[in-house]
């Protein structure tokens, strides 16, 4: 995607996460400022509370906003309703099921199409496991975190390419990776 099509990102971060939503309680950050915030201890704790509101038109901004836990679902549904409206205006056929009004109320799609292969319990367990891993990773040093992110999460490097990037032998990166994974296992076993 070229630069001319990229959306500008605006980050809305609460000054006080426990205070009510009011104009005085928001900090508006750019990408660099948000990255610095998210790297702080407070930012890591509050990271799961951010929702990305994708633009419904290529000229829009992408908003990343801090929400109360219960507001995340509502915010997503409101955004999807706007997306439905936009797609109808543009004569597009694809609609997210959880944004379709059913008898004047929002539905989650389960009222329309039943999926016998969907296992809610499995999904919840997987999400909890992912949260546990991310929490354990937040306890790692920056260099350890960078290695795991590059090889496993972002998949931007192999052991060999990461070793080349650092200017060390692949064996060194492999030993570091094994040590870090063992540390993560120990942290997860403590939970």
Kindly state the average pLDDT of the residues 66-85: 68
Kindly state the average pLDDT of the residues 8-12: 80
Contacts of 100 (CB under 8 A, 6+ apart): 84, 107, 109, 112
Residue 85: which pLDDT band, with cuts at 50, 70 and 90? confident
What is the distance between the alpha carbons of residues 182 and 190, in angstroms, rounded to a whole number? 13
pLDDT digits (tens, 9 = 90+) for 146-184: 999 888 888 889 999 999 999 999 999 999 999 999 998
Q: What is the CA radius of gyration of the chain?
A: 21
The full set of domain ranges for the chain reads: 3-106, 120-189
In degrees and rounded to multiples of 5, residue 101 shows phi and psi of: -70, 135
Least confident of 7-16, 73-82, 130-139, 164-173: 73-82
- Whole-model pTM: value is 0.40
The answer as to CATH 3.40.50.10420 being correct for domain 120-189 is: no
| pLDDT recorded at residue 143 | 93
Residue 124: which pLDDT band, with cuts at 50, 70 and 90? confident
In degrees and rounded to multiples of 5, residue 45 shows phi and psi of: -65, -35
Instruction: Using the predicted structure, report yes or no on whether residue 1 has a pLDDT greater than 50.
Output: no
pLDDT digits (tens, 9 = 90+) for 21-54: 777 888 888 888 888 998 999 988 888 788 776 5
């Amino acid at each position: 995607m070229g630069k001319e099509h990229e959306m500008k990102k605006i980050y809305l971060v609460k000054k006080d996460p426990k205070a009510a939503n009011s104009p005085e309680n928001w900090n508006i950050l750019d990408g660099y400022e948000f990255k610095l915030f998210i790297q702080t201890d407070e930012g890591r704790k509050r990271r799961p509370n951010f929702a990305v509101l994708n633009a419904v038109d290529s000229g829009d901004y992408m908003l990343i906003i801090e929400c109360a836990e219960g507001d995340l679902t509502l915010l997503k549904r409101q955004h999807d309703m706007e997306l439905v409206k936009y797609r109808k205006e543009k004569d597009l056929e694809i609609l997210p099921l959880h944004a379709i009004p059913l008898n004047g109320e929002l539905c989650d799609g389960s009222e329309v199409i039943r999926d016998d292969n969907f296992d809610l319990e499995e999904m919840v367990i997987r999400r909890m496991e992912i949260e546990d891993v991310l929490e354990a990773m937040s306890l790692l040093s920056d260099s350890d975190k960078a290695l795991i992110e590059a090889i496993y999460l972002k998949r931007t490097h192999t052991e060999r390419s990461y070793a080349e990037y650092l200017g060390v032998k692949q064996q060194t990166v492999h030993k570091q990776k094994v040590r870090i994974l063992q540390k993560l296992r120990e942290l997860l076993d403590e939970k």
